[in-house]
Structure 1
Amino acid sequence: MTYLFSYQSPTISGGKESLENIMPGHSGLELCPPPPGLEAEFETLFTSECLTFLHELISTFEGEVDNVLCLRVSKQAHLDHTGELPGFRPDTANIRNDPSWTVLPVPARLQKRHVDIGDLAPCDSQRFIKALQSTAQGIQVDFDDGNCPTFHNQIKGIYNVWKAVKNQFPNVPHISKAPVLMLRPRAWNMVEHNMMVEGKQVPGPLFDFGLLMFHCGMELFKTRSGPFFYLSKVESFMEARLWNKIFLWTQHKLGLPVGTIKATVLIENVLAAFEMEEILFELREHSAGLNCGIWDYSASFVNKFGHRGAFLLPDRSKYVNMEKRFLRSYMDLLVQTCHKRGALATGGMAALLLPLDTCSQTYQTVLASVTRLKLLEIKAGVDGFMVYDLNLIKPMQELFQMQTKSENQLHQLRKDIVVTPTDLLSMPSGGVTLNGLKYNIAVGVLFINAWLSGKGHFFYRGQVEDSATAEISRSQVWQWIRHQTRLEDDGRVVNRQMVEAFVTAVTKELSAHCKSDRAKQQLQTAADMFLEVVLKRDFPAFITTHLSEDHTFLNTHKSRLDNSPRSKL
C-alpha cells in the first residue's frame, strides 16, 4: 500500500491534517504507510504542509545530488585510468592564497564544544534522553554511521528530535539548556526507499534534512540552539557548494535569516583532505568547522586507491593510529586550515567503553588509553572531540579544561605546520597479522548482523563499533585478498580459501552467544553477505549502500517488522 499526494500550489493552508484526509491526485509524491506502532508519530511528521515542503526540496535538488554522485564516479574513473594521485587543486589556488576571507563566527552555543556524545542513533529513546540529561556540550544526533536507516528508525529518530526540541521529554532540560543537537543526516550515497518523488526514490539526506528542518528549524533558531548539522562523507567542494545551496533555499522557504544553519563537515575522504579550504569557503556563511574521522578516512584510501599495491594499508589494530604520518598530517592540516579561517576543528570519537567497576585495573587502563589519545588531539589544537560512553564526558571535559583553560583553541594558528601531498598519502609501514585479519572479519560480520537486526552499531571487546569501523574492516580484508598479502605471523598468503575458513571459524565462535536458532541463522546470513562483499571483483564504495540495496536486508527487515512488537516510548 502506498499513499499518493499531489500539489496544486506552493503551500497548503490550514493546520495538521490526517493522511486519510489528503486527497490523492497524481503520483508526484509516493509515501509508504507508517511502520507498525508509529502511526501517531508518522501523522505528526507528515502533515500536508511538510509534504509540500519535502516535495519542493527534493524536486529542486535531487538532480544536483545525482550530478555530484556522477562527479564522484568520473573522478574515480580518471584516477583509475591515469594512475594519478590527488593534490591541491591549481584551479582553486586563489581561494587558498587569499588571506582575507574567514567563515562567519559561530553562535555562542557552539563556541565551546569540548566534549560531544557521538554515534547517538536518536531512535534509541532511552540513550537519547540520558544524553539530553548529561553535561556534554553537544550530541551528535546520528542518522548515518551509528544508525541503521530502516523506516522505523528514521521516523522514530526524527520524532524523538521533534519531542526534544518541543521540550516534551520529562525530566530533561529545556532545549536551550540541554546539550546542543548536532543533527547528522545520511550521506549522499544513501537512498530513502519509502518515499518517491516524480517516480524516483529520494536521496536519504534530503529526506532527513527536510523533515528535521521543517519541524525543528524555527524552534531551534528561536531558542538560539540551532539548527546545527554534521555533513557526512563529503568528497569535494562541489558537494559543499550543493549543501550551501540547499541551506540558502531552505532558510528562504522557512523564513530564517541567511547563516542560521551551521554545519560541520566530516572530512572522511582522502580527496576531501585536499579541498578543506575550498569546502570552508563554499560554506563560509554556514560553517561550524571541520571534523576528523579516522576510520572512514583510512577506509577511503582503499576505496580510492586500494587496487594499487603502493597503498596497501597494514593491520589497523597494530599499525594505524593518529600518531602515524598520514593521519597526523591530516589532523594537523585540518586544525591549521580551520583556525586560519576562523572555523572550529573537532577530533574523532573515543569508542572505548569504561568498565562499570571504577576501582578495577581495567578501568584505569581504559581511561589512561582514552586520555593519551585525546591529549594528542588537544595538543594538535582541536577545539573538541566526541566520546561514546557517557561516563567519559566528565573526565574528558576536565582534561580539556586543564590543558586549554579556554572555550576553544582558535588562537592556535599552527603556522609551524607545512603539510604536503606526500605527507597525506604516505602509508604507514607494517604488515598483516592473523589477529588483525580475524578481528576485521568479526567486526564486519557482526556489523552486518546488527544491520539485519535494524541496528547501526554494536559492542565488541570493550568498545562500540559502527559503519565506520565496518568500512575499514571489510576494506582491509578485500585489499589483503586482492594483493595476496602474506601474514607476518607465518608467511601464509591471505586468499579466498583462508578468508572463507576464518569466516567459518569466527562465525562458529560468535554463534555460541546466540540465544536462538533464528539468531544463529541470521548470523550465518551476515557471514555469507560479508564474504560476498570482500570477494567482489570491484570494490563496493560503501558497505551501507550495498546493504541497503541488497534483497537480503530488505526481506529480513520486512520479516522483522511483520513479527516484532514496537516500543511505545
Structure 2
Amino acid sequence: MASIPGLKITAPVEGEQNAILSPPALKFLVALHRAFEPTRQALLAARKARQADLDAGGTLTFLPETKAVRDDPSWRGAKPGPGLQDRRVEITGPPERKMVINALNSGAKTFMADFEDSTSPTFANLLNGQVNLRDAVRREIDFDLGGKAYKLSQNPAVLLVRPRGWHLDEPRVTFEGKPLSGSLFDFGLYFFTNAEELVKRGTGPYFYLPKMEHYLEARLWNDVFNFSQDYIRMPRGTIRGTVLVETIPAAFQMEEIIYELREHSAGLNCGRWDYIFSFIKKFRSNAKFVLPDRSSVTMTVPFMQAYVNLLIQTCHKRGVAAMGGMSATLPIKNDKAANDSAMQKVYEDKLREVKAGHDGTWIAHPATVQIALDVFDQYMPGPNQYYNYRADVKVNPEELVNSQVPGFITLGGIRANVSAALAYCGAWVSGNGCVPIANMMEDAATAEIARMQLWHWVFHHAKTETGETITSDLVCKIIDEEAEKVAGVKPAQVAVARDYLKAQVSSKEAGDFLTSDLMAKL
C-alpha cells in the first residue's frame, strides 16, 4: 500500500487474503475508483430524486426519451459466452468454501457465487470468498473437514459471480478518505485475479448485476467492463453480465438495460423477492400499495405475472436469456409428507416458469437441482427458448403497478415477518448471510420484504383481517415476544436485531436497505 498514496485498509488481512489484495490488484481497484466513483455518486443521487418524486405522488412509465431504442428491431444482445448457452438450472449461494464445492458439483449448469444478498460482508467473508473462487477457477479448492474430503468433480458448473449493488460501500478500504464502491471491490478483485485464467479454461468472467434502478446504471457497468478489459488487454466483449430485474423502476427499462450492455449482455433474471421489496418501498407513501401477508404475494398475482411476461418477451426479442426466479425451499428431514409437499411446490414453480418461456431457473439447495432439471429437460429439450417470442404479451404500465393482490393481513403474517426479520438480521450481524428459517433459505431479499411490510402496515394504519389496526406498539410487542424465541444466534446479536426492527417500525421513514443500516453493527 505504500506505493499507492491515499489508499488505506482498516481491517486485518491474513494468510492467502494477501495474495488477493496484491499491489497490482489494489492499483486496479484505485483505477476503477478514480474512473467511476463520481458517476456512481451521481446515479445514487438520481435514485433519491426519483424516490422523492414517487413520494410526492408520481408514478412510473416507459421512458419517452428511449422510445427509439425500444422501437428499433435491429439490435441484439451478445451471443451466449462459452458455457452459457444452456443455463436451465442455476444454483446460488455464498462463496463459502464447502458451499462452492457442493454447488459446483451439484449437477446444476451454473453456480452463482453471491457476494451480495446471501453473504454477510465481514471483511474476512469477502476476502475468503475471493480466495475460494480463485482456487475453484484453478481446480485447487479440494480440502478435508472433520475427516470428510471435499473434492471438485471433473465437470463442475460454470461459475458466475454477483458483486454487491451500486448502493453499497466497502468501508474498510478507502482512497483519499472515501470508501470504495462495494460493487467495484467485489467485481474488481474477482476479475483481476481470474479473468485470464477463466478464458484459458474455456469460459470467461461472468457476472450477475444486482439492484439497478435505471439504464444509466447499466451503462456504468458497461463502461466498467470496457475499462477493465482494456486494463488487462482482454478483448472487449469477453465479459458477460446478467442483470437481475429486482426493482420496479428497472421493469420499465428492460430493453434499455440490455441495450446499454448489449456487447456484454447475458440476459435478465426475475429477482422476485427483491422485486416485491422494491414494489413496496418505491410506492411507500401510497396506501393503495399496502399488500397482504407475504405468503399471498405469489408469482401469479397480476403485477408479478406482468413483470415475468414482459421480461421473457423482452429478452427473447433481443436474443438473450430470460432467467426464472429463486426457489428457496429446503428439504424437510424426518417428515416425508411435509417434504413431499414442499418438493411438489418446487416442481410446480419450475413448471410454471418453463411453460412461460424462461430459459432457466434458480434453486438454493442441491437437493432440488434434479427436480428443476427434470422439469426443464421435459419441456425444454433444446438449450434455451430464445425462439419463444411471447407475441401474446401486451403489458401496459398500469399492469406493472397493479397492486390488487387477494388476501389479508393476519396476526400470523405479522408474527412470521417479525420472526424472519429478527432471525435473519441477528444472523447477518453475526457474519452469516444465508439462513435456513422455517424450511426456507432466507437471504437479505426475503428479510427486506418482512421488514418493509411491517413498516408499511404501521405507516398506513393497515388493519388485520379481524379489523385490528396495526400500530407500532402492537408490532413492537410481537418483536419482544419473538426475540425470545430466536435460536442459533447469540443474545447480543438478537438484541441488535430487535432494537433495529423496533426502530424501523416506529420511524416515519424506513431505511433504504437493512444491509446499509446494519453495516456499522456487523
- Asked if 1:333 is matched to 2:310, the reply is yes
Deviates more, 1:364-373 or 1:274-283: 364-373
Unaligned regions of 5+ residues in structure 1, if any? 8-25, 555-569
Shift of 1:149: 0.6
Q: Name the SS of the counterpart of 1:40 in structure 2.
A: coil
Note if contact 1:180-1:226 (Cα within 8 Å) is conserved in structure 2. Answer: no
Q: Distance in 2 between matches of 1:264 and 1:73?
A: 25
Letter in 1 for 2:153: P
Superposed, 1:155-166 pairs within 5 Å as 155-166=127-138
Letter in 2 for 1:534: V
Instruction: Say which of 2, 6, 15 aligns to 2:3.
Output: 6
Letter in 2 for 1:72: R
Match of 1:102 in 2: 76
Instruction: Say which of 182, 191, 194 aligns to 2:172.
Output: 194
Note if contact 2:246-2:272 (Cα within 8 Å) is conserved in structure 1. Answer: yes
Q: Distance in 2 between matches of 1:397 and 1:313?
A: 33
Letter in 1 for 2:29: L
Letter in 2 for 1:540: G
> After superposition, what is the alpha-carbon deviation per residue over 1:320-378, rounded to whole angstroms, capped at 9, x for unaligned?
00011100100000000000000100011110112245x82222111111111111111
Q: Distance in 2 between matches of 1:530 and 1:524?
A: 10
Note if contact 2:11-2:123 (Cα within 8 Å) is conserved in structure 1. Answer: no
Match of 2:460 in 1: 483
Q: Name the SS of the counterpart of 2:485 in structure 1.
A: helix
- Asked if 1:59 is matched to 2:34, the reply is yes
Q: Distance in 1 between matches of 2:3 and 2:47?
A: 33
Q: Distance in 1 between matches of 2:349 and 2:220?
A: 34
Runs of 4+ in structure 1 off by over 4 angstroms are: none
> After superposition, what is the alpha-carbon deviation per residue over 1:125-160, rounded to whole angstroms, capped at 9, x for unaligned?
112111122211011100001011110100000110
Larger Rg: 1
- Asked if 1:49 is matched to 2:24, the reply is yes
Unaligned regions of 5+ residues in structure 2, if any? 143-150
Q: Distance in 1 between matches of 2:505 and 2:166?
A: 23
Instruction: Say which of 43, 54, 64 aligns to 1:68.
Output: 43
- Asked if 1:40 is matched to 2:15, the reply is yes
Match of 1:267 in 2: 245
Q: Distance in 1 between matches of 2:87 and 2:213?
A: 25
Match of 2:382 in 1: 406
Shift of 1:236: 0.6
Match of 1:528 in 2: 499
Q: Distance in 2 between matches of 1:459 and 1:42?
A: 28
Match of 2:513 in 1: 542
- Asked if 1:135 is matched to 2:113, the reply is no
Superposed, 1:213-224 pairs within 5 Å as 213-224=191-202
Instruction: Say which of 214, 220, 225 aligns to 2:203.
Output: 225
Q: Distance in 2 between matches of 1:167 and 1:295?
A: 33
Q: Distance in 2 between matches of 1:226 and 1:220?
A: 5
Distance 1:533 1:457, change over 3 A: farther
> After superposition, what is the alpha-carbon deviation per residue over 1:147-191, rounded to whole angstroms, capped at 9, x for unaligned?
1111010000011001111221233136xx321111000001111
Note if contact 2:346-2:371 (Cα within 8 Å) is conserved in structure 1. Answer: no
Note if contact 1:192-1:201 (Cα within 8 Å) is conserved in structure 2. Answer: yes
Distance 1:514 1:209, change over 3 A: closer
Shift of 1:514: 5.3
Q: Distance in 2 between matches of 1:522 and 1:253?
A: 42
Q: Distance in 2 between matches of 1:56 and 1:71?
A: 24
- Asked if 1:77 is matched to 2:52, the reply is yes
Q: Distance in 2 between matches of 1:520 and 1:278?
A: 47
Q: Distance in 2 between matches of 1:525 and 1:257?
A: 48
Q: TM-score, normalized by length of structure 2?
A: 0.96
Q: Distance in 2 between matches of 1:260 and 1:465?
A: 33
Note if contact 1:514-1:520 (Cα within 8 Å) is conserved in structure 2. Answer: no
Q: Distance in 1 between matches of 2:227 and 2:273?
A: 33
Match of 2:147 in 1: none
Note if contact 1:277-1:337 (Cα within 8 Å) is conserved in structure 2. Answer: yes
Match of 1:92 in 2: 66
The count of residues paired between Structure 1 and Structure 2 equals 513
Note if contact 2:312-2:322 (Cα within 8 Å) is conserved in structure 1. Answer: yes
Shift of 1:33: 4.5
Q: TM-score, normalized by length of structure 1?
A: 0.88
Shift of 1:415: 0.5
Q: Distance in 1 between matches of 2:11 and 2:498?
A: 32
Shift of 1:430: 2.8
Instruction: Say which of 66, 74, 94 aligns to 1:121.
Output: 94
Superposed, 1:100-499 pairs within 5 Å as 100-118=74-92, 120-122=93-95, 124-170=96-142, 171-173=151-153, 177-317=155-295, 319-356=296-333, 360-427=336-403, 428-488=405-465, 490-499=466-475
Shift of 1:534: 2.4
Match of 1:557 in 2: none
> After superposition, what is the alpha-carbon deviation per residue over 1:473-513, rounded to whole angstroms, capped at 9, x for unaligned?
0000000000111110x211100110011111111233xx4
Q: Name the SS of the counterpart of 2:107 in structure 1.
A: coil
Note if contact 1:5-1:30 (Cα within 8 Å) is conserved in structure 2. Answer: no
Q: Distance in 1 between matches of 2:478 and 2:190?
A: 43
Shift of 1:6: 3.5
Letter in 2 for 1:337: T
In percent, how many aligned pairs have the same letter?
Answer: 38
Q: Distance in 2 between matches of 1:508 and 1:414?
A: 50
Shift of 1:268: 0.5
Q: Distance in 1 between matches of 2:26 and 2:171?
A: 16
Q: Distance in 2 between matches of 1:198 and 1:524?
A: 35
Q: Distance in 1 between matches of 2:398 and 2:488?
A: 47
